[in-house]
Amino acid sequence: MTLGGAAVCVPIGISIAIFGRKMVMLVMVIPYLLGWACIIWAANVFMLYVGRFVVGASGASFCVTVPMYTTEIAEIQIRGVIGCFYQLWIVHGILYSYGVGAAFPPIIVNTLCGILPILFFAFFFWMPESPVYLAQKGRDEQAEKSMRWLRGDDADISADMKAILEDANKEKQKLMEGMSRMGSMWGLCISITLMFFQQFTGINAIIFYSTSIFTKAGTGISPEWCTVILGIVQVFATIMAIMMVDKSGRRVLLLISAILMCLTTLMMGLDFHYLKDANVGWLPVFSTCLFMVGFSMGFGPVPWLVIGEMFAEDMKPLLGSIVGVCNWLFAFCITKCFPICLDIFGGAATFWLFAIISFLACVFIILLVPETKGKTLNEIQELFGG
């Protein structure tokens, strides 16, 4: 699944620059359905591989498109909240899969997941195209109509439209010139590093292998329902982050997130090393839930929000897709390596490694991550340029 995600990000970045954000998202429903069909009616392992790859590619197309679309339609004062909705619905999806996975056999689980792209198409078909994309294509009247639909008939959209049109009418730079700008390079480095820490602090290892973690820990609770508890915690923690992101700022949430992840993975390592036979099965559940709180408050939603904020409009599709590729490759590495590390080094050493990486994330945030709260996209580029 993660390799499918890595393969599609750059083609999707190019496609949304040519065909628009809305069109690409609607078209990607077709491969989504085909991928789930391969999984549901798989006659052999190869069909499962194909289905997973295609579903991963379809899902990853939204990891590039959605953060871009949401930051382009949002007002500055609520851009952080709107930008975090992508992660909010990811954690709802995880909770959904945990819940139906605990209650039903795989064929029903896959069917219940396969119908969701149809529901998305039915709702999103009525949404407007991004006014930023329309302005970039010289369709100013349609851009204004889209903005009016988003803001309401009585809203004053003159300032928003002026900023969008000024940016769209700037002289377009060649690709390499745009890539070599100081703002592009800083934004790319910071975004990729945040994605590295997002994955290598252990989130996908814990999500994908949470059932086996709870089984090995001997919690005394059904591992399937432990994961449902985990999903509920993640949803509520993400909602907390959304309520705070435009008040406390991006850096504060990232720092709190990294500190909590560092402490909880340290606790998990201690549990595996010293307390496994001490009849404290509740401890890994508590530690994992607290890890999810930490992750969901910062490193879950904020890196995706940052993709939409860090890049100038002309370079956003390409640079955002490069960051997406890196994220999915990082996810593949950690998902593949985690069970190997558990077998070779044991649970304690593996989780202590995650703790060290979380500590390095704290250092990186303090030294290099700028605060983007309340700044326009042009102001952020000027900040990098300075």
- The gap between the terminal CA atoms of the chain, to the nearest Å, is 40
- 195-208 pLDDT, tens digit per residue, is 999 999 888 777 76
Share of the chain above pLDDT 70, in %: 92
Type of residue at 322: I
Residue 386 has pLDDT above 60, yes or no: no
Percentage, residues of the chain above pLDDT 90: 34
- How many angstroms separate the Cα of 311 from the Cα of each of 6, 34, 183, 196, 234? 20, 33, 7, 18, 28
Mean pLDDT over the full length of the chain: 85
Q: Tell me the range of 31-45, 186-200, 284-298 where mean pLDDT is highest.
A: 31-45
Residues 253/244, Cβ–Cβ less than 8 Å: yes
**What's the confidence (pLDDT) of residue 83?**
78
- Give the three-class secondary structure for 373: coil
- From 35-49, 211-225, 303-317, 331-345, the region with the lowest mean pLDDT: 211-225
Radius of gyration of the chain (CA): 21
Mean pLDDT of 303-308: 80
How sure is the predictor about 49, in pLDDT bands with cuts at 50, 70 and 90?
A: very high
DSSP 8-class letter at 154:
T
| pLDDT the model gives residue 146 | 92
Nearest Cα to Cα of residue 124 among 34, 27, 58, 56:
27
Query: Is a pLDDT exceeding 90 seen at residue 30?
Result: yes
Signed CA dihedral, 265, 267, 268, 270: sign only: positive
pLDDT band with cut points at 50, 70 and 90 for residue 26: very high
> If you average pLDDT over residues 290-298, what whole number do you get?
87
Q: What is the phi/psi pair of residue 336, to 5°?
A: -75, -40
DSSP state of 358: H
Which pLDDT band holds residue 222 (cuts at 50, 70, 90)?
confident
Say yes or no to pLDDT of 309 above 90: no
- Secondary structure element (H or E) that encloses residue 183, with its range: helix 182-200
Q: Rounded to whole angstroms, how far apart are CA atoms 262 and 161?
A: 44
Question: pLDDT at residue 34 above 60?
Answer: yes
Of 213 and 96, the structure prediction assigns the larger pLDDT to: 96
What is the per-residue DSSP string for 263-307?
A: HHHHHHHHIIIIITTTT-THHHHHHHHHHHHHHHHTTTTHHHHHH
Residue 248 parent element (H or E): helix 223-248
User: What are the angstrom distances between the C-alpha of 284 and each of 63, 116, 167, 228, 256?
Assistant: 30, 32, 50, 15, 21
Q: Supply the pLDDT for residue 43.
A: 92
Q: Where are the domains of the chain?
A: 2-127+170-385
pLDDT tens track for 116-173:
999 999 999 999 999 999 998 889 899 999 999 998 888 888 888 888 888 777 766 6
CB 362 within 8 A of CB 233: no
**What would the pLDDT profile of 62-117 be if each residue is shown by its tens digit?**
988 988 898 888 887 887 788 788 888 888 998 898 889 888 999 999 999 999 99
Rounded to the nearest 10°, the torsion over CA 253, 259, 262, 264 is -90
- 140 to each of 57, 73, 169, 199, 356, how far by Cα in Å? 32, 15, 11, 40, 50
Architecture of domain 2-127+170-385: Up-down Bundle (1.20)
pLDDT of the residue at 22: 94
Angle at CA of residue 195, ends 189 and 198, nearest 5°: 140
| Angle ∠(348,352,356) on CA atoms, nearest 5 | 175
Q: Are 348 and 272 in contact (CB under 8 A)?
A: yes
pLDDT band at 384 (very low <50, low <70, confident <90, very high): confident
Per-residue pLDDT tens for 225-283? Answer: 777 888 888 888 888 888 887 777 788 889 999 999 999 888 888 877 766 665 656 67
Write down the pTM of the prediction.
0.79
The pLDDT score that the predictor gives to residue 109 is 93
Distance set, CA 161 to CA 23, 151, 315 (Å) = 22, 11, 20
